[in-house]
Amino acid sequence: MIVKPKLQIKLKDTVVPEKQTAAPVIKDIRKLTLQELQNFFVENNEKPFRAKQVYEWLWKKSATTFEQMTNLSAGLRQLLTAHFAIHAVTIAEKQLSKDGTIKVGFRLHDGNLVEGVLIPTEDRMTACISSQVGCSLTCKFCATGYMDRVRNLDPAEIYDQVVLIDRLAKENYQKPLSNIVYMGMGEPMLNYANVLKSTELITSQEGLGMAAKRLTVSTAGIAKMIRKLGDDEVRFNLALSLHAANDDKRNQIMPINESNTLEALREALKYFYQKTKNKVTFEYIIFNNFNDTIKDADELYKFCKHLPVKVNIIEYNPISEAQFTNAAEDKITKFAKYLEDKGIVVNVRRSRGKDIDAACGQLAIKERK
């Protein structure tokens, strides 16, 4: 066997490129826990109580720059700036409806956009916020369902939406937010950990201090995550986007039902109620000639009677991607009365912000700027 000699390379004749050092990745400080902040200050020969000051600036005072942290020395602020960033959400666009509703386009630090809505009424100021960029579910009546899911929002990005919509409420209506609904873009139960962390930041005394009963998280119906909500004994309200109490019909408009049947959802909701004692809200859009008959109402009643619930009947808001239309007014009235006569608490919700595509089911990023 002939062994070939190894190729000899003379380094002195070879030009070795200078090694490139990657720029350090600056972490968003809001991803750190209070303990991790304390560790950072100790490692940098600073007092650990500084961490609590910074934490308060971030979550109680909603600071978006280190310069706003005026009870820290200039040196400390420079230390933070050298190691961290604050990836604050900003308002890219606002639209005002003739009924006073304000739709907001939020710009995330990576350039992605999500939408939220301020819904003012006589007795409340409600923020409708998003939990994902796009959505992986494909509900046929929802504009977001025709978008791809790009990514989950982190807790700070959800928190920022609340802060910014609260400022709009105060600026435009001289009232603070009274309610928050996770009913914007995305499926909250598919971003479970971040959604729960955001509710903690919004409700804790170290955060915004809102009452948990002022928060409602809406889901298209993922049974195992509804059970997990029960195990975690959450204090906020739960709403299920139901829209049909018949598996065949629900499969047609909400493909998630094929893997999360009504029976599975019913058992999960019973478990959730046993664990939390929180009454569940069913959201039911009445589509013309689809789910608007007394037979449909009776199927809904039979689904409702297994636990304490209330039903929100919602006016359908048309989108260009679907051919659904809203049921006639007399059908909605008869539908609601049938449920009420059976002892079900029913609210008929009228659309807000339809003229600016801010109503239920209409949120979608139509153009990226």
| Catalytic residue check, 115 | yes
Read off the pLDDT of residues 252-290 as tens digits, 9 standing for 90 and up.
999 999 999 999 999 999 999 999 999 999 999 999 999
d(CA 128, CA 151): 19
Q: Quick one: pLDDT at residue 194?
A: 98
Q: Quick one: pLDDT at residue 315?
A: 85
Q: Quick one: pLDDT at residue 359?
A: 47
Nearest to 156 by CA among 39, 33, 24: 33
Q: Quick one: pLDDT at residue 299?
A: 97
- The count of other CB atoms within 10 Å of the CB of residue 293 is 16
Angle at 145 (CA atoms; ends 98, 108), nearest 5 degrees: 70
CATH classification of 27-85 is 3.40.50.720, yes or no?
no
Q: Quick one: pLDDT at residue 89?
A: 97
Helix (H, G, I), strand (E, B) or coil at 152: strand
Low-confidence residues in the chain, pLDDT < 50? 1-23, 358-359, 361-363, 367-369
Q: Two tokens at 72?
A: 């820290």
Q: Do 53 and 18 contact (CB within 8 A), yes or no?
A: no
The side-by-side arrangement of strands in the sheet containing 215-219 is 90-96, 102-107, 113-120, 125-128, 179-182, 215-219, 237-241, 280-285, 309-314, 345-349
Q: Quick one: pLDDT at residue 33?
A: 95
pTM of structure: 0.88
| Catalytic residue check, 367 | no
Catalytic residue of the set 46, 93, 115, 263: 115
Give domain 90-356's CATH superfamily: Aldolase class I (3.20.20.70)
d(CA 285, CA 225): 23
Task: List the chain domain ranges.
Answer: 27-85, 90-356
Q: Quick one: pLDDT at residue 368?
A: 39
Read off the pLDDT of residues 136-147 as tens digits, 9 standing for 90 and up.
898 888 888 788
Intrachain domains 27-85 and 90-356 with the same fold: no
Q: Quick one: pLDDT at residue 366?
A: 53
Catalytic residue of the set 67, 267, 360, 367: 360
d(CA 48, CA 315): 53
